[in-house]
Amino acid sequence: MRNRIKKMTLVKALDKYFSSVSVHKRGHLQEFYRINVLKRSALAGKFMDEISSVDIADYRDSRLSTISTRTGHNVSANTVRLELALLSALYNLARIEWGTCSHNPVEHVRKPAASPGRTRRLTSVEERRIKRALQSKNPQLLAIFQLALETAMRQGEILSLRWEYVDLHMGVAHLPLTKNGTARDVPLSWKARQVLKEFAGAVSGPVFSYTSNGFKSAWRALLCETGIKDLHFHDLRHEAVSRLFELGTLNVMEVAAISGHKSMNMLKRYTHLRATQLVSKLDARRRQAQKLATIFIPYPAEIEEKEGQYLLRFTDLDHTVITAATREEAVFLAASSLLRIQAIAARAGKRLPPPGEINVRDPGRVLINPFVTKESVSAD
């Protein structure tokens, strides 16, 4: 005999889900907000077993066309995806443990396309503006701002820092519990250590006094004061991770160890390097060529004809005399010899004496180019 479905409205199921499941999650506050949104919807008064996939699709479309009172824009696709994910988790639990439904109507409903994610970078002008605004008014908020850029810590991780977990001598801040549910040790740069030293004093207790809501209010007020648009505090984490990659000294795994990212795919989203940084990398070969150009430079030499032979010696370098049957051959042999001398010196890290001046009108003097070819010598 089949078990009978226990009648339960969605609003009661949402309350039960929050009290038995959500409260045990680190993100319970976010789920509280999503549950309240669902409780205000047309679905809330219906029995769980009577809600169909069509009802869920209608909810999805209605939410996507809703204007957010906070932003003034349509509710984002990610917001709706998270609400549907919560609803799906509720149905899976209710079907197995509560017996209030026989299937999950959310399962086969199309989810809104995921947004590409924010790639907002903090500009140098914005960084200076924020520092100037906070320098004398709010040193605590300034310290939090600087720590975010230096450590790539999340807002909650910075606000939950405690002195008993900060070792300024070793340069490490220990996070007993992170968003991923695991502990993490965050290396502190010299600048991060200097920021924390200004607040040092207590042996234990919180480093900062801000609550989550208090900090959000302070951040919004700061943006209004500075006139900076569309900058979320979480964008500073993206900025910090991008800067870690731009150092060019850390690999992906090392950056992940600092930032606490578990997924390499998630980490890729934070590596949108500045175009100027990429230009610098693209021009690395050119800079190397320019460096080589300062090593492999022409040197003057004396050349004379003696008993049917041409003798050539460098005036600024200790080198054996080059002998050849023709002037062209002597110049070519000297060029090959000069290139070898300069290469050996470059490999050994030695500097050759700078070339002296040459009088181009003196037939007994010639300027030897280390990259000269036989064809160019013959042409001359």
**Active site includes 118?**
no
- Quote the tokens at residue 8: 């339960």
**Active site includes 237?**
yes
Q: Where are the beta strands (DSSP E) in 282-324?
A: 299-306, 309-314, 322-324
**Active site includes 179?**
yes
- Please choose, from the candidates 210, 200, 215, 206, the residue with its C-alpha nearest in 3D space to the C-alpha of residue 161: 206
**Active site includes 73?**
no
From the list 237, 238, 299, 310, the catalytic residue is 237
**Active site includes 81?**
no
Backbone angles phi, psi at 232, to 5 degrees: -85, 150
From the list 210, 261, 299, 310, the catalytic residue is 261
**Active site includes 28?**
no
**Can you tell me which residue has the tokens 């169909």?**
52
From the list 60, 154, 184, 193, the catalytic residue is 154
Q: Which one-letter DSSP state was computed for residue 314?
A: E
Are 7 and 49 in contact, with CB atoms under 8 Å apart?
yes
From the list 17, 59, 270, 310, the catalytic residue is 270
From the list 46, 179, 272, 319, the catalytic residue is 179
Q: Using CA atoms, how far apart are residues 185 and 203, in angstroms rounded to an integer?
A: 19
Are 40 and 31 in contact, with CB atoms under 8 Å apart?
no
Task: Indicate the SS3 state at residue 126.
Answer: helix
Are 55 and 105 in contact, with CB atoms under 8 Å apart?
yes
Query: So which residues are the catalytic ones?
Result: 154, 179, 234, 237, 261, 270
